[in-house]
Structure 1
């Protein structure tokens, strides 16, 4: 239920009698953002796990093992390359028509694309058409995800009570580890099947599960109200005609800073999940189930880290939290690989868990930091573009890491060095982002 709050401070929400939402309604909106984002990341992460375990063998069978893995990871990266297009498209829709309709379309698109992957014939059945169709559906996934996350955090933040943006912006971030839990858990279950059954039909089940999950997400999102800040933009007709173009023209510096601050949370995460599964199973000879289960344990720890860091961001600021997260990740990069190379199952699980937890410090506050870098009239587009351009730059990191590993004769130090580079870029993004906060304009009655 909406009410007026004349005591709201400038920069923290509306004022002068403008309609705002209650804490209860804000919680409902944040939960709806979380549910939809969890489904989006379930679908998206599912592809990453399948790229490491299935697609290289069933869709790229005409290639040698290393080339097949590279091709599967390249297909995985195609989704990232498509995400900026989704950011432009849904950013326009979210900044011109509304945050709510944009988020309804994104969740339907990715759910349908993921479910259809479960019906795809393999290379053995239809030849080169199989990987071509796989790439097409991955492109659709990428376009949809390109508009999802930016809209989810924008909607959550713009409903947040004064001074509590950090915790509400963190809730959509929790969708990432929950999506990991669901996708890794689904694959952990089907990996229990005999190998023949897994290859024949078992791997399809997690993809087909996207259909019933989609129905739940749509039901919840339809019950969400539009952002009060967007309603205010409509009332004053203060909307950008081409939001993405205006972001590049007038907010290019915040865009670059936002991209830098988001690099580690995206690229570092995929190095520690998609690439690490392949590295552990194919290079070190560890059990595939062990590597998948390590990501499950890590996802639980990530949830706790995100919730705690979201609260901490309200005290220290998201820029400072991002800075410390980047520093910690840089320091832990080499020890992480050393621990995994012990090949001790317990140590491997602990190492992956610690690595993802450290990377998640910066990721936890990405939503809070990015939404503070753009004004409301450009926020959906600015946040989506920054996050997804960063994703496009880092989406091919599993393939790059695999190539570096192969070029180094199996030595992990080039990949660890890559992790250090990502961490330091995000550290700089956090420092600069903390000094570039944009406050929302105070409305006039």
Structure 2
């Protein structure tokens, strides 16, 4: 078991101290380890759980460690973090075993700190019922309960009512379901459903998209022959709502300005039945291969890729597109259930910089839309400054555009704003997302 926890501590060191992406470093470390599947599952649980609940864990540790936590050796701090996580959030591991494993691992990593680790963890076990936060502060209570930085909770409270905020924070802490999209170019829903069931997958229908199937249980979907043969692709159902919002028709010209890894462009190609032309752009050359690989696996022929800075004007595309999609770079606050480190790597200053980039992209993209064409704006964040406020700003700057209302049915995690735009709140089935569709009417 020590090896599992040792791996978890190593991964957390890279995530917390080197800003590594949890999924990438975890995948790398698990692939080169000799851990069995059960232990790999434990490492994954501990890593994601500790990242997710870092604020709560550190608040508890601060109560028992009088010096600044950041002064501790990083491995020692992460051993304490994973131990508190296991004792507070996992029932399957006996508390005495957690303490013993932590002490043994500390003896390897930093022998002098073993006594400290033992003392802190035993002290916690004796004092579990202490109030670690100010009960008179709703902000501190929510931050502690759901383990979010106070600035982020405050931002949500200013934008949504208290009930919605609790739904949002709870949804962002849920373990995401794996959802796949049926590739209509190669199969239909019934055939894909039967093949997934025959391959031993426990599956459910999607919540809103007719092409969606949820994988409840089963082996890694990328090892599945349906995935390899391009009959299905992995995509969250919130992201799956974007392409149908574009009112696509066969033989259209579509620009996807921030395309990598290409999920939405490929979905658009499937809807257009491999006709017309989809130009998929990204600012990074190395990301274009992700789009090409996805398109090739899915049997898509109408996508071409090129490097383009979405915020810089290219006269080549002026008034040339029936549809322009801008899935803009954003703070990612809607996908925290998949990337929990976003809680700790983003701050308010980052968001201010992003809003400027988003607005530059919007103004630029507007120039590529032909009269009667449509501009679709989407983000995977719940921050109103990046969402509704950006749309209001854009409509003032570009009065020849107006919002066309979107409607996806009556789900309790969808907020339909009076302007016609949609916010998708996160839950166990879907990421937090925002979508707006605007039509260009010509000069007014």
Q: TM-score, normalised by structure 1?
A: 0.25
Structure with higher RCO (Cα < 8 A, 6+ apart): 1
Instruction: Choose 1 or 2 for highest CA Rg.
Output: 2
TM-score (norm 2): 0.25
